[in-house]
Amino acid sequence: MANSFECVHLSSITKSFPATQAGDSRLMILEGISLTIRHGQSVAIVGKSGSGKSTLLEIAAGLLEPDSGTVMLDGVCLHGLDDRQKAILRARKMGFIFQASYMLADFTALENVKIAALIAGSSPREATTRATDLLHRVGLGERLSHTSDRLSGGERQRVVIARSLVNDPAIIFADEPTGNLDEENAAIIEDLLLGLVKERNATLMLVTHNPQFASRLDRVLTLSERTLVEGM
C-alpha cells in the first residue's frame, strides 16, 4: 500500500506486446517491476533503445495499461479508473514533456500554456496569470504572442516545460526532453527543467539516453533484461 510520502508506486508491473517473429506468442518487455518515487524526488530511467523505458513511463502515467500489477499515483490507484477519470487526474496531477515539442500550431505560446490550466479548471484570469509568469520564468517573456512556427526548437521545448508546470502537478513525466535539441539548447533545457522542478518541489520521472543528464537527478535506475536495477 502506498503512503503519504509516495508520489508514484508501481507494484509487480508486467507488460508484453504481440511478438514480431513467427512462433512467439508475446514479447515480454517488463517483468515484475516495482518502483517507488517519493514526493519531491527526481528519478532517471536509463537503458538501451527498445528496453522498455518509455513503456514504463507510460504505464506510470496511466497512458498504457500493464498486463498485471498495480499503479498508484499520489495515493490514487489507477486500476479501475475510466478514461474520463484518468484524464482529470492527468490534467490536475501530472505534467508531460516529450522528445517532440508538441504545441497547438495555431495557438500562441501563451495560449498553449494557458489551455492546460483552463482544462484543469482554472479561471481564465488565473490561467493567464500563471501561464504568463511561467513563460517569463523560462525566458520567453518576449515571445508570448508567437506561434510555434515562429519559435526555435529550444524555445518550443521551453513552452512545453511551462505548460507541464502550470497546474503545479504532483509529478512531471519527461521522455527524452532534450533528445531533439543541439548540445547548447539541451543544456539550457536541462537547467530550466531541473531548476523549476526543484523550486516547486515537484516529482520528476525522466527517461533519457544521456548519462550526464541522468546523473544530475536524485536517483538513477537502469532498465535491463525487463527489470530495474539501481545505478547506471
Domains of the chain, first to last: 6-230 (3.40.50.300)
C-alpha–C-alpha distance, residues 231 and 84, integer Å: 37
134 grid coordinates: 511561467
Convert 135-169 to b/e letters by CB count within 10 Å (16 or more is b): bebbebeebbebbbeebeebbbbbbbbbbbbbbeb
C-alpha–C-alpha distance, residues 32 and 30, integer Å: 7
Q: Over 90: is that where the pLDDT of 99 sits?
A: no
**pLDDT the model gives residue 151:** 94
Type of residue at 205: M
C-alpha–C-alpha distance, residues 26 and 17, integer Å: 6
Q: Over 60: is that where the pLDDT of 3 sits?
A: no
Long-range contacts of 122-131 (CB under 8 A, 24+ apart): 122/167, 127/166, 130/166, 131/162, 131/163, 131/166
For the entire predicted model, the pTM comes to 0.90
231 grid coordinates: 545505478
Residue indicated by cell numbers 527524452: 176
**Confidence grade of residue 4 (pLDDT, cut at 50, 70, 90):** low
Nearest to 192 by CA among 154, 166, 218: 154
**pLDDT the model gives residue 167:** 94
**Confidence grade of residue 59 (pLDDT, cut at 50, 70, 90):** very high
**pLDDT the model gives residue 65:** 93
Is residue 70 within 8 Å of 64, Cβ to Cβ?
A: no
CA-based R_g, the chain, Å: 18
**Confidence grade of residue 1 (pLDDT, cut at 50, 70, 90):** very low
How long a stretch of residues is the chain? 232
**pLDDT the model gives residue 2:** 45
Please compute the mean of the pLDDT values over residues 85-90 and round it to a whole number: 91
Is residue 222 within 8 Å of 229, Cβ to Cβ?
A: yes
Write out pLDDT tens, residues 172-196.
999 999 888 889 888 988 999 999 9
Write out pLDDT tens, residues 131-177.
999 999 999 999 999 999 999 989 999 999 999 999 999 999 999 99
